[in-house]
């Protein structure tokens, strides 16, 4: 199977089930023009995040890794009146692009962007009394995933859902000897999820227009 085939199938399903969307399409275009890397979630993955948040009945969502706000918009649209997404971004330029994209989507009042290293902004959130979040989407620097898991557990409740992007990385995740800190971060993260009695989890490989990667989903149990 080739990337061209995966892309054609993504296009087929997205054409029927996801569809064009003015604000989301503009977010991608503006992000590309601003020179941001095109590593935002695929449309069908964004829709999956949206469906998961709706299944959760989420009112409070935490996102680690905003980029241009593409996944943020999908998540924010899942929330009822009064719902809130807090999204954490290290790069002020990304945060600025995201701010524009989120505003264009009419979601400026729903989304709070915190600029800074997530390992600095997460303790601030905890100190300020944020949480429990109903959904956490972990999608930032992969070597920090083990720490993001610990913070996610602090900032959620039984019944919350933790989702992590990029757990497969072209299949490299199975290479125990990998010298790539991203791969080692994902392996350690997955082992910690497995060892945590409060979590019930699964991981799925995903192919599509964005290549070969995957998602891990963990339900916080009582
Ligand atoms: N969730 C986005 C994609 C995020 S890409 C989407 O699907 O649309 C990863 C983002 O994490 C990048 O914007 C990067 O700047 C940010 N990032 C990297 N290290 C970070 C850190 N230590 N703290 C917060 N954000 C970080
Ligand atoms: C990278 C990061 C992502 O969040 C992603 O979805 C794809 C690639 C990266 O750092 O290369
Ligand atoms: Mg990602």
**Per-residue pLDDT, 1:** 81
For residues 63 and 87, the answer to whether their CB atoms sit within 8 Å is yes
Provide the angle, in degrees to the nearest 10, between the axes of the packed helices 145-154 and 181-195: 30
Residues with CB under 6 A from ligand 2: 39, 139, 165-166
* Superfamily for the 3-220 domain: Vaccinia Virus protein VP39 (3.40.50.150)
**Per-residue pLDDT, 222:** 78
Dump pLDDT digits (tens) for 108-127.
999 999 999 999 999 999 99
Which of 66, 99, 121, 152, when mutated, tests ligand 1's pocket best, judged by the most ligand atoms within 8 Å of its CB?
66
Burial bucket for residue 202 (CB in 10 Å: 0-12, 13-18, 19+): exposed
- Give the residue extent of every domain in the chain: 3-220
Q: Is 108 helix (H, G, I), strand (E, B) or coil?
A: coil
What is the atom index within ligand 2 of the atom nearest the CA of 139? 4
Dump pLDDT digits (tens) for 148-193.
999 999 999 999 999 999 999 999 999 999 999 999 999 999 999 9
Q: Which protein residue has the closest C-alpha to ligand 1 atom 13?
A: 67
Structure pTM? 0.98
Instruction: Work out the average pLDDT over 9-29.
Output: 97
For residues 195 and 169, the answer to whether their CB atoms sit within 8 Å is no
Dump pLDDT digits (tens) for 50-91.
999 999 999 999 999 999 999 999 999 999 999 999 999 999
Residue partners of 163: CB distance under 8 A and separation at least 6: 49, 52, 135, 136, 137, 138, 215, 216, 217, 218
Residue ranges with CB less than 5 Å from ion ligand 3:
139, 165-166
For residues 207 and 42, the answer to whether their CB atoms sit within 8 Å is no
């Amino acid at each position: 199977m080739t990337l061209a085939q995966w892309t054609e199938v993504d296009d087929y399903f997205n054409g029927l089930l996801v569809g064009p969307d003015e604000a989301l399409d503009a977010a991608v275009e503006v992000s590309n023009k601003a020179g941001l890397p095109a590593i935002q979630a695929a449309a069908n993955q964004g829709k999956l995040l949206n469906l998961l948040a709706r299944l959760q009945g989420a009112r409070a969502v935490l996102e680690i890794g905003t980029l241009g706000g593409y996944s943020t918009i999908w998540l924010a649209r899942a929330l009822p009146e009064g719902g809130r997404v807090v999204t954490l971004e290290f790069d002020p330029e990304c945060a600025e692009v995201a701010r524009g994209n989120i505003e264009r989507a009419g979601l400026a009042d729903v989304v709070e962007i915190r600029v800074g290293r997530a390992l600095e902004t997460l303790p601030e959130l905890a100190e300020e009394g944020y949480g429990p979040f109903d959904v956490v989407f972990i999608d930032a620097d992969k070597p920090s995933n083990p720490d993001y898991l610990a913070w996610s557990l602090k900032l959620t409740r039984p019944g919350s859902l933790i989702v992590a992007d990029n757990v497969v990385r072209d299949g490299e995740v199975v290479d125990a000897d990998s010298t790539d800190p991203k791969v080692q971060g994902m392996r350690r993260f997955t082992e910690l999820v497995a060892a945590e009695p409060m979590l019930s989890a699964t991981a799925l490989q995903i192919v599509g227009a964005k290549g070969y990667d995957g998602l891990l989903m963990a339900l916080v149990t009582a």
